[in-house]
Amino acid sequence: MDLQWSDADLAFRDEVRAFLKEHLTEDLREAGRLMTSVYADHEASMKWQRILAAKGWAAPAWPVEYGGCGWSAAQRYIFSRERIAAGAPPLSPMGIQMCAPALIEFGTPEQKDFFLPRMLSGEHFWCQGYSEPQSGSDLASLQMSAVEDGGDLVCNGSKIWATHANVANWIFCLVRTSRESKPQRGITFLLIDMATPGVSVQPIVMSSGEHIQNQVFFDNVRVPKGNVIGQIGDGWTVAKYLLEFERGGVAYTPEFHLMLERLRAFAQTAPGEGTARLIDCPEFAAKLAAASVRVETLEVYELRTMSAISAGGSPGASASVMKILGTELHQHITELWLEAAGPYGRAYQPQAVRPGGPVTLPHASGAPAGPLAAVAAPLRYLNDRAGSIYAGSNEIQRNILAKVALDLH
């Protein structure tokens, strides 16, 4: 694997930097810089998607014939790194990064023609319907039923932890169309219009106070069979393919480098216990150094995976490795930030940042007390507790690796 960027890669990097400099407004930069979760402010994210769609850069990983960029894996990595460094908000991954690859791989021509352009433009904003109140990491135990009735499937049940279901107009769901001896069989991948009669959404407020998560209820919801992706009863195949992109479809380390860079700068001025500056505290400096080593190690792994994808491969088991290492390292860095914030990390001040959803818990509305970086630390810490659970808990990922990579049964 060659770790040096080619002249073409460097030229592409310069093109990306010029585009970001021209099109990133201060409002968009603020939305990216002041994020407290993995999701940006919804309106800012949609505004940025429209700008990228007009440029043809909204879906870097898609094939060109569907509106993709035709970029190499290296170019996608460079774009991600430059976007984060410039402070641009991320796009919601549900449609473009998750549902779209499944559609492209398993959808009919008619389904692709209808859904993909609307994903790119933002006309369709997607959420995910996988987990249920009694079916989380053990996803194959899901119970939401879909009974065939003529040309429709009649759906009953609920989905939980549906990110941004309160603003989404489409949801991709796993539903049970039959009961088989093996629970993975009889599951169907289904696209549902959120405006369909019988669909209702209830908010779930997280510990950070943000309304990003939801529970979605389905009461005799009729969905055309034409909205099935793949075959009825074979949705597990589609779901596994999609999860590779959810767990390992992004690079973590560009963000980690920026988080540590900002943390080092903050520690240059933050007071340390018994020292003039926090950065001069040997224990904290050692923690920073250890985190940097972990980031560098993960970056090499990501680059190796990128190289394999460039050669025509898929993330495969590497998706689970990156999901484990990435989410646990992200949590660790937010813990270091909380330590550095000191007493400012004890206050609840969401008015100072740009959360990914409405803040429903009572809070002050005035100017924040303390440095902005310190004020944001507890909110990012609280949000990131879910990182090792979503997209399949890290315990489940380790089970997958034991079976697939180590051949342990």
- How many CB atoms are closer than 10 A to CB 339? 18
**Separation between Cα atoms, residue 388 and residue 371, nearest integer Å:** 28
Question: How does 51-87 read in b/e, with b if 16+ C-beta sit within 10 Å?
Answer: bbbeeebbbbbbeeebbbbebbbbbbbbbbbbbbbbb
Element (H, E) at 173: strand 170-176
Which ranges of 122-224 would DSSP assign to H, the alpha helix? none
Instruction: Write out the two tokens for 137.
Output: 């990491």
Annotated catalytic residue, options 246, 255, 299, 302? 246
Phi/psi region, residue 150 (left: phi>0; alpha: psi -120 to 50; beta: rest), is left
Which residues on neighbouring strands pair with residue 329, listed in sequence order?
none
According to DSSP, residue 99 is labeled I
**Separation between Cα atoms, residue 114 and residue 57, nearest integer Å:** 20
**Separation between Cα atoms, residue 328 and residue 318, nearest integer Å:** 15
Instruction: Write out the two tokens for 219.
Output: 């009461």
Which residues on neighbouring strands pair with residue 395, listed in sequence order?
none
Which residues on neighbouring strands pair with residue 187, listed in sequence order?
176, 234
Instruction: Write out the two tokens for 178.
Output: 């039959």
Q: Is 246 a residue of the active site?
A: yes
**Separation between Cα atoms, residue 269 and residue 257, nearest integer Å:** 19
Amino acid in the structure at residue 373: A
- Please give the span between the terminal C-alpha atoms of the chain, in angstroms, as a whole number: 32
- Around 218, how many Cα atoms within 13 Å sit in the side-chain half-sphere? 29
**Separation between Cα atoms, residue 225 and residue 166, nearest integer Å:** 25
**Separation between Cα atoms, residue 77 and residue 389, nearest integer Å:** 25
Kindly give, in sequence order, each residue whose CB lies less than 8 Å from that of residue 47, ignoring residues fewer than 6 positions away.
Answer: 28
Pairing of strands 126-129, 170-176: parallel
Active site residues: 246
